[in-house]
Structure 1
Amino acid sequence: QQQAATQPSAMPQVQQQAATRQTGQSVAQQTAAQAQALLEQNGHLQPELGQSDPSQFLGQRFAVGWPPLDQPNGRKIAALEESPSMLRHDMLVETRVVGKLIGLGGSTYKELVNKSGCNIFILDREGPPPGCNEAYRLVVLMGYVAQVVKAKEELDKLLAECHESTSRLKLLLGIEANPGELPTGEEVKLLTEAETLVSKVGIETATAFPGLGVVEGRKIAQLLCTKEHIRKDLIVPKVMVGRILGSGGSKFKEIMSTTSCKIFVLDKEGPPPGYEEDQRMVSLIGFESQVQAAENEIESLIQSALRRPQFTLGRPSSYPQPYVDLSYKDHDDEPS
C-alpha cells in the first residue's frame, strides 16, 4: 500500500523527465536545420553584425542537458545555470575555427573573457553537440545580459573575420564558395592546412605558383616553413623534363640524394603564368648551398643534352638560355 501510495506522486516527476528528454531531442533535431538556415542567409553560422538590437538573439539553446554532468564543463555550466540572474546563450561554430577562438596559448580566449566578463565555454573536447556532425562545436556563453551581449559581439567579429579569410582561401584553392552548402570534410581539412601555411609563411609565398590548390604547392609551402630554407625557380623547356627525371625518376632521385635539395618538377601543373605551353617550372627548396648544388646539377644536365647533335629544342636559334632563374631573391627576373 505504501508503494502504491507513492506511485501517483512519482508519475509527474517521470513525465517531467520524459518531457525534458523529448525537448532535448527536438532541440537537437532542429540544430542542423537552424545552422543550415543561417548559412543560407548569411554565408556563416552567426547572425549578421550591426543588428540594431543585439539582445534579440540572446538565449538561444542548441542543446538541453548538454554537455552532460559527468564532464567538468557540464558541471560548471549547470552550477551557473542555478543562478536566476545568469543567462545562457549557445553559439554553433565550425570546428576548424575553434583554434582561432582560443588563440596561441589561449590568448584570444583570455582576451574575450577579460573584455566581456562573461563565462565562455568552448566545447571542443566534448565533441559535436547532439544532432550535429564533427564539423561543428558548441560555444556556451554564461553571464549577465550585458556580459553575454559583449561576448557575443566580440565572437561575432572573430567569426566574421574567419569567414572572410575562408572566402579568400576558397578562391585561392579553387573551391567554389556556396553559402548554401556546408563545407565537405575534405574541404575543411584543406582549408585548415592552407590557413596554417599562410599564417607561417605569408600569403604571397604560400600562394606562389603552383599554389595551395595542388598537392605540390602545399608541399613547397610546408618546406618553406623551415627557417633559412629558400626557394629558387627555374624555367626549363618541357622537352627537358624527361631528362631531369630520368628513367623511372632515377636522375631526379640521384640529384636530390647528392644535393639534399628538395626538387619539384612541375610538369602536370602546366606552365607558370606568363610562360608558354612548352615551358615548365622546376622549384628547388632547401638551404642556400643545397639549392645552388641542385641548380648546378640541372644546368649541367641540360647543357649536356643541348650539346648532342640529334637534340633540338624545336625553337628558333634566338631562343635564350636553356633555363631562366626565377629566384625570389631577385624579383627583377620575373616575367611581367
Structure 2
Amino acid sequence: MPLFLPHFNLQKFNTLAVPAFAAYFVSVKNTEELREALLFARTENLSLLLLGGGSNIVLQDDFPGLVVHIKHQGKEIVHEDDDHVWLQVAAGENWHQLVEYTLANALYGLENLSLIPGSVGAAPIQNIGAYGVEIKELLTELTALDIRSGLSVTFTNQSCQFGYRDSIFKGALKDRYVITAVTFKLNKRPQVRVEYPALRAALAHLTQTEITPELVSAAVIAIRTNKLPDPADTPNVGSFFKNPVISKIQHEELKLRYPGIVAYDAGEGQIKLAAGWLIDRAGWKGKEAAGAAVHKDQALVLTNPHKTSGQAVLELARLIKQSVFDQFGLWLEIEPRVYP
C-alpha cells in the first residue's frame, strides 16, 4: 500500500525549486501501486499531477490534488536480431542514466540525447530532442495505464502522433494515460549522427571514422554544460520556449530585416528559428524581472535564483513573449507544462 502524504512541499521535486505544496503526494514503484493511487484520487475526487523528474513543469500555485511521483525502475531486452536490440525501460528511470547505461552496454542511438534532465516516462510526452535526434526516431512502442479504467494499453510509435516537442499525450489524450514503460530500438553497431552545427563544430578535429558514440555523448555533455545551468545550482527547466517554426516566406521577410537571424531547415517548406536568438536580440539575456531571471549565457533559459513562486517565472515569460512579438511579430510558446 503506497503512503499518501498530506500538505507535501514540492520544492525538491521540481527543478525550478518553486515552494508549492500538494494537497497529497505519493510515490509509486510499480503498476499496482499506481492503480491504488489512481483509485485514491477517484475516491477522493482529486485532480492528478503525474511527476517524473520535475524538469518540465512550472508550479504557479499550490496543487489542490494528488501528486503521483512515478518511480518505476527496470530495464529488459524484449527482442533482438543481428543488428538491433529492443530495450524496454520503466518510466521512472532517469533519462541520462539510461543513456549512460546504453553506451556502457554497446547499445547505440541515444547518445545525442545525453544530459537531458527528467525521467524516461516523460520523454515521449514531449518528444524530447537535441543535437539532431528526436526520441520518435528510436521509440517503437510504449505502455501506459488508462487513468479512468486502470487498464494497461500499448501505443505504437505511429499512434503516439509525434511532432516537434509534441505527442498525442499533449493533445487528444492529454491527462488520459500514465506512461509506465517505453521500448527503444537501439543499434548494436555505432551509427553516429553529427549533422547538428554545434556538434559538428565540437568534433571537427576528428575524421568521421574516428567519431564514436561515446565521443558524441561527451561532446553533447560539454556543449550542454557550457550552455545550460545545472538546476541543482541555478533552478531552471532548461529551454523555456519552443523554437518557432515558420514558413520559408516568413523567414525570407525576417532575414531582410535581420540578416543574422539564426534558423534551420525544418523540412516540408518550413524553417525553425532559434528562440534564444530572438530573446537575446530583444534585449533579455542576463536580465531580471518579476523576481525571476534570464540566464546570462543562454537566453532560452529562465531561472528562479531566489526560489520564488512559479507566478514570478511566468510573469517574466509573459514580458519576454510580448517583447519578442512586438519586435518580430512572432509569439513564443512555453515549452514546460504549467500547473495547476
TM band (smaller chain): under 0.3
Q: Which has the larger radius of gyration?
A: 1
Structure having the larger proportion of residues in strand: 2
Higher RCO structure, 1 or 2 (CA under 8 Å, sep 6+): 2
TM-score by length of 1: 0.28
